[in-house]
Amino acid sequence: MSVRIKAVVDRFVKELKEALDADIQDRIMKEREMQSYIQEREREVAEREAAWKADLSRREAEIARQEARLKIERENLEKEKSVLMGTASSQDNQDGALEITVSGEKYRCLRFSKAKK
């Protein structure tokens, strides 16, 4: 009888070990699949992040170009205004002359008259 019990116990232990080995193998496979999935997702996220940063960099460069262009246009406008309108400043001279500067050249006006209609 004890031989039969020993045989039953041995068979039970053997089946238990096989079941444990199968469970361990299954867990190892699931872990590998999970690691593979995580690596794939991390790669996808890194690619999207790189694309986003590249797009951001292009947009920042375009903004810098537009700001430089606007600065030049503003400087050109100021130059045009000074050429077209000149700058007039009343001088506190003894003769009461008005000095006008146009394109860096100074003009003095001693007498004024109304424009004829």
pLDDT in tens, 27-74: 999 999 999 999 999 999 999 999 999 999 999 999 999 999 999 999
Query: What number is the average pLDDT over the span 72-91?
Result: 72
Domain boundaries, the chain: 3-84, 86-116
> Would you state the pLDDT for residue 79?
80
- What does the block give as tokens for 63? 């903004």
Contacts of 86 (CB under 8 A, 6+ apart): 100, 101, 102, 103
Q: What is each CA distance from 95 to 16, 98, 107, 109, in whole angstroms? A: 120, 9, 14, 10
pLDDT at residue 7 is higher than 60? yes
Q: What is each CA distance from 74 to 54, 68, 69, 100, 105, in whole angstroms? A: 30, 10, 9, 23, 22
Q: Letter for the amino acid at 5?
A: I
pLDDT band at 78 (very low <50, low <70, confident <90, very high): confident
Q: Is the pTM of this model over 0.85?
A: no
